[in-house]
Structure 1
Amino acid sequence: MPRFHLVSDPDDPVVAPFRAIKERDLVGREGLFIAEGETVLRAFTRDAPQRVVSLLIDPKRREKLADVFAGLPEFTPIYLAEQGVLDAIAGFHLHRGILAVGRKPPAVAARDLLASLPARAMVLVLCGIANHDNMGGIYRNAAAFGADAIVLDADCCDPLYRKAIRVSVGAVLSVPTARLSRDESIADLLDATGFEGLALSPSADEILATLKPAARTAVLLGTEGPGLSPDVMARARRIGIPMANSFDSLNVATTSGIVLHHLRFLGG
């Protein structure tokens, strides 16, 4: 089976998984996802080449991506389509000229994931993060500062949504992730796996700059506005980030970066 396939008809059934991307984003892909752009593709093929199902690219990018292709399983199909055909398949102008279909990893139980981490570990627990830009930004920070895992509650959006992947520059494809069911308790999970929960709050008595974290630390982040639930806050160590001029609100992705940087480099 040849690796490269020229596609000249947007209705060719071999590229059906790439068709009408924005509409398919809304209804889901049954265990698959779409990644776009060279940076994301390189992260994907570096971290999980076995999960690449197929690629669709502008032929002009073929030579530049030769090293990427070399790292894929031998018979991974790579479809080549000129820009006009590519745009017709995707349903919008695809200026990056690169798409990949990937297979989502098997689900893992949050307790099993946290229990498997080393004696010193740093994780994020996300509660109700529904904005894909924020989700992608949090994963980007998690990768940059070496978070060991991310746990999502039942109300978080899908980190493998195309925009979240793009904003994360592919980090969502490499940071170990688990999702809680709606009836699982975050506080019980952390107690059972030996993690101390840090809840970010503008009304906290303790500030981040003086924090000495536990060996196993979980940073709890809630959606902007409602924040973390009272139950979660009640069973966590509350930490604040002082701000100038009585301002009391930070973007949640920005907050994640500040906290993770402190825990990785300044917390001792």
Structure 2
Amino acid sequence: MERQLIRSERRGKVALVRLASDNTLNPLTDALIDALVLAMQHIESDPAVHATVLTGSERAFAAGADIVAMSKLDYATAFSEDYIGRNWDHFRALRKPVVAAVGGYALGGGCELAMMCDIVIAARNAMFGQPEIKLGIVPGAGGTQRLPRAAGKSTAMLACLTGESLTASEALACGLVSKVVEPEVLVEEALRIGEQIARHSLPVILAIKEAVNRSFESSLAEGLLFERRLFHAGFALADQKEGMAAFLGRRNAAFSNR
């Protein structure tokens, strides 16, 4: 099942993971999310991989959740089976950086999945949105929580309350994405960024991701203390000694990831 729904390959220290449903809109079925989580967990356990690029088809990163399956749910089933939370929550626990390469539609769960990634690169034809209100339901994988943090309250309210989509340029202007590129170079640009990340010390990469994520979960004072302790702890790393020696010696660092 994983081979049918997810395609994964290595590009040096970067993993390229592609949502590859038979439906090019990549509806986020339970089976697809299960396969994605399994692929990402394999990457997490591979010390040779430092970063991941996640992308979809040319038509869509992912155009939303599995509406057919959702239409059959009742409250008791959704709650008791922890629908969405059961498998999606594993994705937000990933420690290694994930770069989303978004082309075409990223709507509903697709937009939420992109926002769960650490960096979002968009093709010029990308469309982002939370159209759940049109289905008579509230976003369920972070649309009302991550979107205001990324794009601000007003933009999030507009998207969630009207169901209107954001173009790639609008998403860039409000901070939802980091960069907009032409569709034909989308994956290559995301891989380039992944490779930039991956050339550095893995313990430091993990620490930086953890620190940035902590900024959304704590006060400024607590976040600054957390950052300072990670900064101090870094002086125990062999990579810190190598990085500073390389800088002073005007050479490229050879990190050992310890």
Query: What TM-score comes out, normalization by structure 1 length?
Result: 0.25
Return the structure number with greater strand share. 1
Which structure's residues are more often helix, by fraction?
A: 2
Q: Normalization by structure 2: what TM-score?
A: 0.25
Higher relative contact order (CA 8 A, sep 6+): 1
Question: Which is greater in Rg?
Answer: 1
